[in-house]
Amino acid sequence: MKSRIVAIFVGILILWSMLILRAGHLQFIPDDRLNTLQSRQFQKTVTLQARRGAIVDSKGRDLAMSATAYSLYADPKLLENRRAVAKKLAKALNQSFSSVYSKIKDGSRRFVWIERKLEQDKADEIKAWNIRGLSFVEEWRRVYPNESLLAQTLGFMGSEGQGLEGLELGQDHLLRGNTKKVFMKKDARGRPLINNGLMFTEHPEGHELRLTVDSELQYRLESELQNAMSGYQAEQAFGVILDAKTSAVLALASAPTFDVNRAMRAPAESRRNKIMTDVFEPGSTMKTFVIAAALRDSKLQPNTKFYCENGSFKVGDRVIREAESKEKFGDLTVAQILAVSSNVGTTKIAFAMGSERLRQGLLDFGFGQRSGVDFPGEARGTLHGLPWRPHLLSNVSFGHGMTATSLQIANAYAAIANGGVLNTPYLIQSVRDGETGEVQEATPKPVRRVLTQEQAAQMRAMLVGVTSKGGTGGLARVDGYMVGGKTGTAQKVNPNGRGYLPGAYISSFAGFIPANDPKYVIFIAVDSPKKSYYGSTVAAPIFSRIASYAVRKEGIAPLYLSDEKTEQKKREIIAKNTLGKKEDTKEMRLTAEELHQVTDLDALETVPDLMKLSTREVLRRINGRDLNVKFIGRGMVSEIVPAPGSALPKDREIKVILK
């Protein structure tokens, strides 16, 4: 009996020992099979999308942000009286009963979305019902607090949180961030354990983009473009402001625009970023780069003269004319050709270069190729391959027969403004990692040197002449500041066929301020204005207002010069920029006196305005001038050949017709 008890005791002891060892083995030694079984029964792995990173302007002001939203889901198996729940939800969510009930009527289902991205007050209302089987997932929704500000650049999101256009699309990989896997605990019946009505509360963060854009400059630009559209009854208007030194984009816009929060309700035409995606024939703003390319190739100097054929120059079987029939220029210096925007003069400069050298010069300034800006969908523009017929060479010299984007034009002017270096324009100033906080700063990216410092200074000097007295860009001037730039008036290409749209023009102005030390490069274009169409009267005043705001906002001190000395002082200041380093002993090639001579439009002799004067008054008016006047008829002056304001012919003869 005793031995039997001992045997039973030993057996029980061995059994317990085995149980203890097995328990220890299970507790302390990993078992993949059991771990997998436990995970499957009591927890579920959920992949969380990161909260989308914010987009801010250069001063850190919010442009696009992710606000908390709550997505409602149901576990139909846990719902009691599903028809009553569906009626209550339909009323609260402003949905039909049938659409809600169809989602929850199948009691065998364990998960179904009811509504995504609800506002917090609506989520709180539904939570207060305390209905078993209804729960929320904390998500995010994209909010654009400034509504239409920078709309075409920011772009917008799709319903599933994917970027569809603009930076939201182009930088989606950064803004979206990295996904994160979290474990959701379940009870023994497989039901998710809810914390305060939420399935889970933690989310990773996407990267934050800080742009180079200044919101205040952007708002001013957009306001001016919208006013231009209504004031000139134009189809659209667009503009861009660059940092002259680096080509950082400080503002860019096109009108009409749209509210980004309601993007899908806006027409696709309004959502496109036309500064980068739309091309057009730029017109006379291209004359600057024809002259710059010729200057670089030593084909001319600012005081080189060209005979402008009295406004009519035959090229092959076609005739090149000036913009106005009354413009009948004779000998003009290169600076004067640029200032009065002579088509004939620029054509002759292009012929002096030849198509191969001119095309290469335009390529070097960035035309006919993408600039490389960090934005999707940038257009290349067109610059035809060689050979060029003489008529195409002439057309290209004054901005026809080729196309460019607004950004390409502005960036090419920045190369002149900054001393001759073409940079890659950029929109993103820095990227901050949402998880680690690490910041990566963007730096300017020079592409190539296109002009020497001296050549760039000479170009700036001539562009100041465009905005001086008698130049086409007079309305672009800003009181107290030196302005350089060029007007453009181009016929609008017919998008549905060959040729141009009758009576349709794109009026533009490209320039920089202050010309003695450029800070801003600004390009403005107005598409199909009805009340006027010259760049000098439509786009130049818009440039002036935006430039005036920009320099005063930046606190750039004006130059206080007396009116009678302003032009000469401007030339002296610009001329100083042609000096090399202090240790460079060579003299300036372009002195202040020479600069005055080549850019002084008062020195350009023109036909006087003698209209509606009698013979006696005409003789008194021209007394002392070296003019050969022929009178035809009697009475009052009714016509003058050449027209008043045009350049005097070489023989200095004018015909005065009296009636």
Residue, of 253 and 3, whose pLDDT is higher: 253
Give the confidence band of 605 by pLDDT, cuts at 50, 70, 90: low
β-pair type (180-185, 318-321)? unpaired
Angle, CA of 290, 339 and 295, to the nearest 5°: 35
pLDDT exceeding 70 applies to what percent of the chain?
Answer: 83
pLDDT at residue number 358: 96
Q: What is the pLDDT of residues 415-465, one digit of tens each?
A: 999 999 999 999 999 999 877 889 999 999 999 999 999 899 999 999 998
**Which H or E run includes 259?**
none
Q: Domain coordinates of the chain in residue numbers?
A: 2-43, 46-54+64-152+174-206, 232-255+275-427+446-536+552-595, 615-658
User: Distance between CA atoms of 439 and 430, rounded to whole angstroms?
Assistant: 7
DSSP assigned state of 84 = H
pLDDT at residue number 494: 85
Give the confidence band of 111 by pLDDT, cuts at 50, 70, 90: confident
pLDDT at residue number 67: 82
Give the confidence band of 248 by pLDDT, cuts at 50, 70, 90: very high
Q: What is the pTM of this model?
A: 0.78
Q: Is the model's pLDDT at 197 over the cut of 80?
A: no
**Residue 641 burial class via C-beta count within 10 angstroms: exposed 0-12, middle 13-18, buried 19 and up:** middle
Give the confidence band of 493 by pLDDT, cuts at 50, 70, 90: confident
* Residue 330 contacts residue 651 (beta carbons within 8 Å): no
Location of structure tokens 């009519």:
312
pLDDT at residue number 9: 79
Q: What is the pLDDT of residues 263-283, one digit of tens each?
A: 888 888 889 999 999 999 999
Q: Does domain 46-54+64-152+174-206 have CATH number 3.40.50.300?
A: no
User: Distance between CA atoms of 283 and 300, rounded to whole angstroms?
Assistant: 22
pLDDT at residue number 181: 55
Q: What mean pLDDT do residues 202-221 have?
A: 88
User: Distance between CA atoms of 97 and 138, rounded to whole angstroms?
Assistant: 25
> For 19-28, 204-213, 381-390, 462-471, which range has the lowest pLDDT when averaged over its residues?
19-28
Q: Which two tokens stand for residue 47?
A: 């992949």
Helix, strand, coil share (%) of the chain residues, nearest 5: 35, 25, 40
Among 359, 362, 486, 364, smallest CA distance to 421 is for 364
Q: Which two tokens stand for residue 197?
A: 């009505």
pLDDT at residue number 178: 67
Q: Is the model's pLDDT at 658 over the cut of 80?
A: yes
Angle, CA of 557, 563 and 568, to the nearest 5°: 85
Q: Is the model's pLDDT at 234 over the cut of 90?
A: yes
Among 445, 447, 443, 412, smallest CA distance to 429 is for 443
Give the confidence band of 588 by pLDDT, cuts at 50, 70, 90: very low
Q: Is the model's pLDDT at 579 over the cut of 90?
A: no
Residues in the chain, overall count: 659
Q: Residue 348, CB half-sphere, CA atoms under 13 Å: how many? A: 24
Q: What is the pLDDT of residues 57-99, one digit of tens each?
A: 999 999 999 888 888 888 888 888 888 888 888 888 888 888 8
DSSP assigned state of 79 = -
Q: Which residues contact 27 (CB under 8 A, 6 or more apart)?
A: none
pLDDT exceeding 90 applies to what percent of the chain?
Answer: 45
Mean pLDDT of the chain: 84
DSSP assigned state of 138 = E
Q: Is the model's pLDDT at 182 over the cut of 50?
A: yes
User: Distance between CA atoms of 354 and 364, rounded to whole angstroms?
Assistant: 16
Phi, then psi, of 220 in degrees rounded to 5: -65, -45
Q: Is the model's pLDDT at 46 over the cut of 70?
A: no
Angle, CA of 53, 56 and 61, to the nearest 5°: 130
Q: Is the model's pLDDT at 14 over the cut of 70?
A: yes
Q: Distance between terminal CA atoms of the chain?
A: 156
pLDDT at residue number 44: 57
Q: Is the model's pLDDT at 540 over the cut of 70?
A: yes
The dihedral sign for the CA sequence 84, 90, 96, 98: negative
Q: What mean pLDDT do residues 631-656 have?
A: 77
Integer Rg of the chain from CA: 36
pLDDT at residue number 232: 92
Residue, of 57 and 558, whose pLDDT is higher: 57
Residues forming beta bridges with residue 321, ordered by sequence position: 312
Residue, of 509 and 133, whose pLDDT is higher: 509
Q: What is the pLDDT of residues 360-369, one digit of tens each?
A: 999 999 999 9
Which CATH architecture does the domain made up of 232-255+275-427+446-536+552-595 adopt?
Answer: 3-Layer(aba) Sandwich (3.40)
